[in-house]
Amino acid sequence: MRARRWTLTLALALQAPCSALSAQDPPGRDAALGLEFPPLVFAPPEPELHTLAGGVEVLYLEDNTLPLVNVFARFRGGYALFDRAYYAAGMSLASLLRTGGTRTLTPDSVDLFLESHAVQTSFGGGGESITSAMNVLGDDLAEALEVWGEMLREPRFAQGRVEVWRGQELESALRRKDDPQRLAFSEFNRLMYGDHPVGWEIAPDDLEPEDLSREKLEWVHARVVCPENLKLGVTGDVSWAEIEPRLEAMLAEWSACEGELPEPPTARIREGGGVFLIPRGLEQSTVVLAHATDVRQGDHPDFFASRIGNIILGAGGFSSRLLSRVRTEEGYAYSAGSLWTTPRRQRGLVGAVTQTRPSTTVAAIRLILDTFAEMTREAPRSDEVRRAVDETVNGFVFNFQSPSQIVFRRMLYRAEDLPEDWLQRYLDGVQEVDPEDVLQVFREHVRPEEMTILVLGDPDGFDEPLESLGPVTVLEIEEATPSSPSGGQRSPG
């Protein structure tokens, strides 16, 4: 293992004074350049792991810098685990926990309490989890924790707030066709994942009033936001002796989950490539291309090599090959980048995205595919690998600038069933990557000839027929329907 692990690259910039322009270097320059420094050791503080009486795990890290306390909650479960009939209810759940009131407090009363006590909250959700966080002055912790706990545990789902969410999502669904990039990404996900939650996009048919009935909202809530699915995190100016009984009291009135959560459905990602066109008379084409890969997040050389290879290919900004060639050398596009997703338990995608003029659309696609192919034939230069490794290692520390960041990330890693020492394994792993490792992972997992290519743009303006890339399937998608004057409450049709 290299001595570089868990270290940061220390750059010493020496700027000579004006007199340095003379024939001789200033006195002491050689001595300064010859200085050696010990490596900077990066050792973030370790949270304590506690288990409450009901079996709920808590990651706790005391921090007395400010008189503030942060409490985090992460629930396993989300819309991806249920039938499409519960999609809208699952999608809205996090938002309505915040806006929909509680059993004893109306939505306006909740808003007033949070504002008057300067309580900051956040609520979010995805296909397989719901998260929330609360930040409050230590003196107000008891009251704030009681209200926040009730928001999570006993939501009111006030009908007026449900209708506001439904109206906003309905308007957004109707307007999706007006946003070329959003439409291209949405249709590409649908192409690749089909009728799998990753490929779902909320549509007017998902937003009928019955899709957000109280019965459906309570059904999803009772199966997701409950103690068996919960992990907690606490940081700030509070001792464990002070916070433990308050957390126990918050959980004491919480009902158990109703039923077992099903396992996430396995995605069957599209294979075999193909070229797809969404015709739009626009001055810019949106291009998305990718294929499935089996590289997953974990302690494996392929995972670490894929992280470094993706930075070299197109995720490393101006130093990456795609941006250098598509933008700097050829002037085809303002931006171009690569993606290489590595889910923990599912297959991911490797590919690229760009936007370019119609007159350079096919040329840009060919250049992107050629850049992928080059990465499968020749190992990258040593300086490219070193720059990507340094970028990863040096940037990693900024994920741990505060105790709350440390605890939140540790909660995520535990939820993903990663090793306890995953942070060190990750940094060790990326620092072991060499050019041959990158070449090997591209040879084994990247197949440019099998990319599924989606182009949203004006075929009459293309530099050459799209058919030159292969048989083309045209996706006929209607233009967006103009909004009604009443705004978000407009019904489809």
**Phi/psi of residue 336, nearest 5 degrees:** -155, 135
pLDDT beyond 50 at 19: no
Q: What pLDDT, on the 0 to 100 scale, is given for residue 423?
A: 83
Contact 466, 275 (CB under 8 A): yes
The answer to whether the Cα torsion of 234, 239, 241, 243 is positive or negative is negative
User: Residue 54: pLDDT band by 50, 70, 90 thresholds?
Assistant: confident
pTM of this prediction?
Answer: 0.85
CB atoms within 10 A of CB 11: 7
Q: Is 13 exposed, middle or buried (0-12, 13-18, 19+ CB in 10 A)?
A: exposed
Q: What is the mean pLDDT of the chain?
A: 90
Residue 468's pLDDT is 97
Ramachandran angles phi, psi of 13, nearest 5°:
-90, 120
Mean pLDDT along residues 224-247: 97
- pLDDT (0 to 100) of residue 38: 75
Instruction: Give the mean pLDDT of 10-18.
Output: 35
Give, for 425, the enclosing helix (H) or strand (E). Answer: helix 422-431
CA–CA gap between residue 218 and residue 97 (Å, rounded): 11
Higher pLDDT, 41 or 208: 208
Residue found by looking up tokens 């685990």 in the block: 81
**Closest residue by Cα to residue 123 from 289, 114, 340:** 114
Backbone angles phi, psi at 38, to 5 degrees: -70, 155
**Per-residue pLDDT tens for 309-341?**
999 999 988 899 999 999 999 999 999 999 999
What are 314's two structure tokens? 């197109």
Q: Which domains does the chain have, with CATH numbers?
A: 48-252 (3.30.830.10), 274-474 (3.30.830.10)
CA dist., res. 18 & res. 7, Å (int):
34
Give the rounded percent of residues in the chain with a pLDDT score beyond 70. Answer: 91
So what's the pLDDT on residue 42? 63
pLDDT at position 25: 53
